[in-house]
């Protein structure tokens, strides 16, 4: 008699978290209402009120003013608008401002936007290095701006890294930018809802976030941008969102995002403590195997509570991923797939990992629904899976005797 299939263990919350019940309830209610937030009749005014109340809730949760909250379709659009829009505004005002300063570990929404500007507007990209734990050194930014501030359009450094969880010294970096009169943007997509974030206190000029990273719906995000920060719109039309992001607003998404953010911020301390404890337990399970190393900051206060990123020597992360998936454990690799060809993570390479180590890494990201039972499942299945992946890796590399390779069916 066959046993019932094991329930899926979802450990990819950094990619997308399930919607919180409070957010789902708020969204369903908003979806039942007719009305365009730009219409002047009663239904339109009711919808506008929901939109503006959501804007106020988000602003209050993040230490911002409601007028600084611009709704977008997600973190990628918010990053594009910040990088391209601020660059274009400052470059047009002074063509000498061609430089964009980025960290080496930015998300591709930032890197690709900057590379597009380099191709289309001859922007000069300056990459700040990171140390072995993924940290940007503020002194590197200070030295750069001390010499090149008048030619720099903007700086963009992520608040927390999406792969290894490193929390960057954003307030210090933003203060340096302010000192030299250069706007600083931060991709805070992974940080918001998981660690304390205060836009006003940070001194940032702009900041991006996405609802589905903290229990809101996919397809809705926000760019927080100061009222005095010049930015060229990328979408033109009806002049919505301070004329910086035209298009009929996703009111139901905004309502759900606000509800998820309010809940996440209100429960942040206890959620972080619970998630950190589970992450420590998972780390103990994984590091019990030989030739395994956790990546990112050693100090738990300097990394996101829910991310466990580990390198497993002598195997491919993709192999581990698929073998785990076959056992109902879902996580992600530290590599990106471009045109069907697996590439080592630029984040791990920037941190000094070898190509082999970078390709043999996995990210497990925990969320509110993660339980001790989930960790127990990983502990139960992981040993045989790692052995199998390592055996395949050794065979593929030619490091096993020929007789062993020929007789292997792994």
- The Cα 332–Cα 322 span in angstroms is 10
Distances (CA, A) of 105 to 75, 194, 318, 348, 410: 16, 20, 21, 8, 35
- The Cα 159–Cα 161 span in angstroms is 7
Question: Contact 100/141 with Cβ under 8 angstroms?
Answer: no
> Which DSSP string do the residues of 290-309 spell out, in sequence order?
SSEEEES-SSGGGB-TTEEE
Cα Dmax for the chain: 80
Nearest CA to 106 out of 177, 52, 156 is that of: 156
**Which SS3 state, helix, strand or coil, does residue 249 take?**
coil
- The Cα 67–Cα 70 span in angstroms is 8
Eight-class DSSP state of 63? T
- The Cα 96–Cα 292 span in angstroms is 48
Residues noted as catalytic: 337
- The Cα 291–Cα 331 span in angstroms is 20
**Which SS3 state, helix, strand or coil, does residue 349 take?**
helix
Please measure the distance between the N-terminal and C-terminal CA atoms of the chain and give it in whole angstroms: 27
- The Cα 245–Cα 21 span in angstroms is 29
Token couple for 95: 């063509």
Task: State the pairing for strand pair 336-338/341-343.
Answer: antiparallel
DSSP bridge pairs for 294: 310
- The Cα 124–Cα 144 span in angstroms is 13
């Amino acid at each position: 008699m066959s046993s019932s299939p094991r329930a899926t263990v979802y450990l990819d919350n950094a990619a997308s978290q399930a919607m919180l019940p409070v957010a789902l309830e708020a969204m369903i209610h908003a979806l039942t209402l007719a009305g365009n937030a730009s219409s002047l009749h009663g239904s339109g005014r009711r919808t506008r009120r929901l939109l503006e109340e959501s804007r106020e809730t988000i602003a209050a949760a993040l230490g911002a003013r409601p007028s600084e909250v611009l709704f977008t379709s997600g973190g990628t659009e918010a990053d594009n608008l910040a990088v391209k829009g601020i660059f274009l505004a400052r470059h047009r005002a002074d063509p000498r401002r061609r430089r964009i300063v980025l960290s080496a570990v930015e998300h591709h929404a930032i890197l690709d936007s900057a590379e597009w500007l380099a191709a289309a507007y001859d922007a000069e990209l300056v990459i700040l290095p990171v140390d072995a734990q993924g940290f940007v050194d503020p002194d590197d930014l200070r030295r750069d701006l001390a010499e090149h501030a008048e030619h720099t359009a903007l700086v963009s450094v992520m608040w927390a890294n999406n792969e290894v969880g490193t929390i960057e010294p954003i307030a210090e970096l933003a203060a340096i930018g302010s000192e030299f009169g250069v706007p600083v943007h931060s991709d805070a997509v992974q940080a918001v809802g998981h660690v304390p974030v205060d836009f006003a206190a940070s001194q940032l000029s702009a900041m991006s976030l996405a609802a589905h990273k903290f229990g809101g719906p996919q397809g809705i995000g926000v760019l927080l941008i100061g009222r005095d920060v010049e930015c060229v719109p990328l979408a033109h039309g009806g002049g919505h969102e301070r004329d910086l992001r035209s298009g009929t607003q996703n009111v139901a998404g905004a309502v759900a995002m606000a509800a998820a953010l309010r809940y996440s911020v209100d429960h942040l301390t206890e959620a972080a403590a619970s998630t950190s404890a589970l992450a420590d337990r998972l780390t103990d399970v994984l590091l019990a195997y030989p030739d395994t190393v956790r990546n990112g900051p050693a100090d738990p206060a300097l990394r996101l509570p829910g991310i466990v990123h580990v390198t497993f020597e002598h195997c491919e992360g993709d192999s581990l991923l698929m073998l785990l998936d076959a056992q109902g454990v879902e996580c992600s690799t530290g590599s990106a797939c471009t045109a069907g060809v697996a590439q080592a993570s630029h984040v791990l390479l920037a941190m000094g990992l070898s190509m082999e180590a970078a390709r043999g890494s996995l990210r497990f990201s925990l969320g509110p629904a993660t339980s001790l039972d989930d960790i127990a499942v990983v502990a139960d299945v992981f040993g045989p899976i790692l052995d199998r992946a390592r055996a395949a890796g050794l065979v593929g590399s030619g490091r096993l005797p020929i007789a062993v390779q020929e007789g292997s069916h792994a």
